[in-house]
Amino acid sequence: MNISVKNLQKYYGKNKALDITELQISEGELVGIVGNNGAGKTTFLRLILDLLQPTNGEILINGENVSQSQSWKLFTGSYLDEGFLIDFMTPEEYFYFSGELYGICKEDVDQRLKAYEPFMNNEILNQKKYIRQLSTGNKQKTGIIAAMIVEPKLLLLDEPFNSIDPTSQIRIRNTLKQINTEKKTTMLVSSHNLNHIASACSRIILLEKGLIIKDITNIAEKIKEVEDYFSVNAQ
């Protein structure tokens, strides 16, 4: 799945939240989106998912405007925040529900969940708990897994490393890299964690006040540019 952004702007009143003249994300790229609070990261992901309407411009997925087409949704998995969860369900019910939306039967969902058993750490399945009763970290794990078990061609995650323990952070980072490599899934992952983003991603987009400040593909050589940018702003 490829993404094309053209003259995209989002205003809240007189405040400009996002302003991207042009951006191309090719199929199979694992793109990290970094920036300080209020940089426009979540707004950008919500615009891609048609959860927000742009003030100007358009976003195309495989050539189709996201606000005028539904077909891209059948190939897209996402988890941005707890609002994506149905908290009166158990995790099992939620996984089955997510699978059903994509035409995946319970047996196949069960099979796919096995790959995430280390990530769940025996704290999510078979706990006789509703999602609302889970810890913040396990709620996040539930949402991330639900987005991934449908094996989407496009995956969007907002701050997936927040609220989970360091071991789980490493597991999800490695899982993202593995899926991207094996299945060529296009991924957009926003995060404040530069280390995980630099390790996982093939490209980093730095947003600041809604603008793309840097677009880096040679990460091994240029991650220091991103670190230096934030260091200067911290002084």
CATH of the domain at 14: 3.40.50.300
CA nearest neighbour of 160 among 151, 147, 178, 150 = 147
Q: Contact 3/76 with Cβ under 8 angstroms?
A: no
pLDDT, one tens digit per residue, over 106-124 is 999 999 999 999 999 999 9
Question: Which DSSP helix (H) or strand (E) runs through 137?
Answer: helix 136-149
Q: Contact 151/112 with Cβ under 8 angstroms?
A: yes
Indicate the number of domains in the chain.
1
pLDDT, one tens digit per residue, over 145-179 is 999 999 999 999 999 999 899 999 999 999 999 99
Question: Which DSSP helix (H) or strand (E) runs through 143?
Answer: helix 136-149
Specify whether the backbone of 102 is left (phi greater than 0), alpha (psi in -120 to 50) or beta. alpha
Q: Does residue 221 surpass a pLDDT of 70? A: no
CA dihedral 175, 23, 198, 34 (to 10 degrees): -100
Cβ atoms within 10 Å of 215's Cβ, excluding its own: 11
pTM confidence score: 0.92
Q: How far is C-alpha 178 from the geometric centre of its chain's CA atoms?
A: 15
pLDDT, one tens digit per residue, over 185-197 is 999 999 988 888 9
Average pLDDT, the chain: 93
Res 209: pLDDT: 93
Q: Does residue 42 surpass a pLDDT of 70? A: yes
Provide the pLDDT confidence category of residue 232 given band limits of 50, 70 and 90.
low
Domain that holds residue 15: 3-234
Q: Does residue 1 surpass a pLDDT of 80? A: yes
